């Protein structure tokens, strides 16, 4: 019952922000919101005092805070304005309603049954559902300043959920503040993954999960141990909120108040770009991203945004591994400080995956910055100081790794730079991150395998570890599939839009597949058929073609037998 009411209130909320209505209707909606808050409050109390299966004690602090927040909102709506009257604003009522919905949704019993649907299928379906819902929300009358077509709404929703950033309409001028809020929510859900939200909140409040559910979530979060599944999900959410919150504060500090004089506009700008940056989405409320005249030379802002999408592009497994290493080093330092050196140990903490990702990312960033600096020194970097040239070259090199923001005119880049950008876009970010592409580890394994074969070795070894054959096979499968999808996209778009230059189409397709969002300016001019191709390309790039094939084909066990081995003539 409380969940049904909370769902109903969400629909009223969508009507509230999406459609124009009279003032008397606003009063009715306010009554509905207040009723939802009251029912949510009663539901929490009943759950602890009148139900046999009470929530875990671990949840109690959260529920107490939520209960106090809801009671405060209710009292303000009942005109008990004794303190904190700011909570009477509609914004806080919306937050309260959504919090009640999340709390009631989390109390539902969700079981991810592998016998019905496998994790790959569940992952794909969750993204499809949120994309369609997002498109419908963006078509609401009050989310745009003028009517948007279904194909453009689908394109924008797909670009947001797949954290791509390709645009057919300008985000800042075409969408209202309600529309921009929907876009940033889609980016956040797509960046972390809808199943991360649903699975963790369900477990957190109920305190249990089936073994099958944990297996399914383990495959989606790349967690090695089943027992660490929900611990990892919790860390992902906390790290995301911490980094995005810190990023928003740094962005807010770097904005010139004369450019955005209204405080609420500066706050919204900071939050929007912090979320978009960390999720590697590339969406901006600025028409020309950070190439706008007022932001083009704001280097502290550029470095903040770059730090956000670099952290988001490293991947949660890498960040968690680095935090574990840092925690161990700090612990060792204090043990030595207090004369307990004999307790200090040196375990293998930085795993092989982290080493490969960090090493590859560093090489790509250094060489990408160097090439960008040399090729564009007298071109797109000509207006910058020497320090500005270095910062802009660095930003241009790392933003191609699926971030999609730009501080230079992409259409004015030299051909040599464009080819480097395409190559970096294709590689993309790292596994388990908010970015796309074939991933840094995939590229590294492919290169290392080629060198290993050239040296006459029968196995792949690095950092005193042997890379499994299944990892090598998956790497080459991902590379082949990515090239196939990109080539098919180029062929189809060049067929439907023959007037567009092949280089621009090539750039657009790689950007879409790798969920980068950089464009040579042809996105909005494409035909409906070509836009549909790009929608599909963005979706495949975010999901990964190999995941789609795994979802389609039934898993076949081949561990119980081995055929005789023979060598095939290759060269």
Residues 148 and 272 in one domain: yes
Number of structural domains (the chain) is 3
pLDDT in tens, the chain (571 residues): 777 888 888 888 877 777 776 777 878 888 888 888 888 888 888 877 776 666 666 677 777 888 888 888 888 777 765 555 556 667 778 888 888 887 777 676 655 554 556 667 777 888 888 899 899 889 888 888 888 889 999 999 999 998 888 889 888 889 988 889 889 989 988 887 755 655 555 555 555 555 555 555 555 555 555 555 566 667 777 888 889 999 999 999 999 888 888 888 888 899 999 999 998 888 999 988 898 888 999 999 999 999 998 988 888 778 888 888 888 888 777 767 766 665 556 666 788 888 999 999 999 999 999 999 999 999 999 999 999 999 999 999 999 887 889 899 888 899 999 999 999 999 988 887 888 889 999 999 999 999 998 888 888 888 888 888 888 888 999 999 999 999 999 999 999 999 999 999 999 999 999 989 888 889 889 999 999 999 999 999 888 888 888 778 766 665 666 778 777 777 6
Residue 392: the pLDDT is 94
CATH number at residue 476: 1.10.287
Report yes or no on 250 lying in a domain: yes
Residues 232 and 129 in one domain: yes
Report yes or no on 565 lying in a domain: no
Residues 66 and 184 in one domain: no
Residues 6 or more apart whose Cβ sits within 8 Å of residue 50 = none
Residues 82 and 205 in one domain: no
Residues 99 and 123 in one domain: no
Angle between helix 352-376 and 415-427 (nearest 10) = 170
Last residue of a domain, one of 308, 340, 375: 308
Residues 68 and 156 in one domain: no
Task: Determine the Cα–Cα distance for residues 445 and 313; give it in Å rounded to an integer.
Answer: 18
C-alpha distances (whole Å) from 346 to each of 325, 339, 453, 462 are 10, 17, 33, 20
Residues 95 and 173 in one domain: no
Report yes or no on 368 lying in a domain: no
Residues 123 and 94 in one domain: no
- Which residue range forms the structural domain that includes residue 35? 2-106
Residue 556: the pLDDT is 63
Residues 145 and 286 in one domain: yes
Q: For residue 545, which of 440, 469, 439 has the smallest C-alpha distance?
A: 439
Residues 163 and 287 in one domain: yes
Q: Are 270 and 301 in contact (CB under 8 A)?
A: no
Cα 126 to chain center, whole Å?
A: 14
Backbone torsion region of residue 16, taken as left when φ is above 0, otherwise alpha when ψ lies between -120 and 50, otherwise beta: alpha
Report yes or no on 164 lying in a domain: yes
Report yes or no on 341 lying in a domain: no
Report yes or no on 451 lying in a domain: no
Last residue of a domain, one of 280, 308, 336: 308
Residues 157 and 248 in one domain: yes
Residue 14: the pLDDT is 77
Last residue of a domain, one of 308, 328, 346: 308
Residue 288, classified by CB atoms within 10 Å of its CB into exposed (0-12), middle (13-18) or buried (19+), is: middle
Report yes or no on 500 lying in a domain: yes
Report yes or no on 485 lying in a domain: yes
């Amino acid at each position: 019952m409380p969940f049904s009411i909370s769902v109903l209130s969400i629909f009223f909320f969508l009507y509230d922000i999406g459609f124009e209505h009279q003032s008397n209707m606003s009063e009715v909606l306010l009554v509905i919101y207040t009723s939802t808050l009251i029912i949510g409050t009663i539901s929490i109390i009943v759950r602890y005092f009148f139900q046999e299966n009470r929530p875990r004690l671990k949840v109690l602090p959260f529920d107490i805070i939520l209960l106090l927040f809801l009671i405060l909102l209710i009292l303000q709506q009942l005109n008990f304005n004794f303190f904190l009257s700011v909570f009477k604003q509609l914004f806080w009522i919306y937050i309260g309603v959504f919090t009640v919905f999340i709390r009631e949704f989390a109390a539902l019993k969700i079981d991810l049954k592998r016998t019905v649907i496998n994790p790959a299928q569940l992952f794909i379906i969750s993204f499809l559902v949120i994309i369609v819902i997002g498109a419908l929300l963006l078509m609401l009358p009050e989310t745009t300043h003028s009517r948007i077509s279904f194909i453009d709404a689908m394109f924008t929703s797909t670009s947001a959920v797949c954290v791509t950033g390709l645009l057919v309409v300008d985000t800042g001028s075409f969408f209202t503040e309600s529309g921009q809020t929907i876009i940033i929510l889609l980016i956040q859900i797509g960046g972390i993954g809808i199943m991360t939200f649903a699975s963790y909140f369900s477990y957190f409040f109920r305190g249990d999960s089936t073994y099958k559910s944990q297996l399914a979530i383990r495959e989606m979060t790349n967690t090695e141990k089943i027992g660490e599944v929900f611990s990892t999900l919790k860390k992902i959410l906390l790290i995301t909120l911490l980094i995005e919150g810190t990023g928003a504060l740094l962005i807010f500090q770097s904005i010139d108040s004369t450019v955005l004089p209204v405080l609420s506009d500066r706050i919204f700008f900071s939050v929007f770009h912090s979320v978009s940056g960390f999720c590697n989405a590339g969406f901006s409320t600025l028409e020309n991203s950070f190439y706008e005249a007022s932001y083009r030379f704001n280097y502290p802002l550029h470095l903040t945004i770059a730090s956000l999408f670099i952290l988001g592009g490293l991947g949660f497994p890498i960040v968690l591994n680095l935090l574990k290493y840092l925690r161990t080093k700090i612990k060792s330092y204090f043990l030595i400080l207090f004369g307990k050196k004999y307790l200090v140990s040196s375990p293998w903490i930085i795993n092989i995956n982290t080493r490969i990702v960090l090493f590859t990312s560093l090489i790509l960033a250094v060489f990408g910055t160097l090439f960008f600096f040399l090729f564009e020194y007298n071109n797109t970097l000509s207006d910058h100081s020497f320090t500005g040239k270095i910062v802009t070259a660095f930003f241009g090199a790392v933003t191609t790794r699926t971030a999609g923001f730009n501080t230079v005119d992409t259409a004015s880049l030299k051909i040599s730079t464009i080819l480097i950008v395409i190559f970096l876009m294709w590689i993309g970010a790292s596994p388990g991150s908010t970015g796309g592409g074939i991933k840094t580890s995939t590229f590294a394994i492919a290169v290392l395998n080629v060198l290993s074969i050239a040296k006459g070795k029968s196995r792949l070894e690095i950092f005193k570890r042997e890379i499994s054959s299944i990892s090598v096979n998956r790497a080459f499968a991902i590379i082949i599939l990515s090239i196939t999808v990109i080539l098919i996209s180029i062929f189809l778009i060049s067929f439907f839009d023959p007037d567009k230059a092949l280089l621009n189409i090539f750039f657009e397709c790689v950007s879409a597949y790798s969920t980068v969002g950089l464009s040579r300016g042809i996105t909005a001019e494409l035909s409906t058929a070509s836009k549909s191709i790009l929608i599909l390309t963005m979706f495949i790039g975010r999901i990964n073609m190999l995941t789609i094939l795994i979802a389609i084909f039934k898993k076949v066990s081949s561990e119980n037998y081995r055929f005789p081995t023979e060598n095939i003539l290759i060269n």
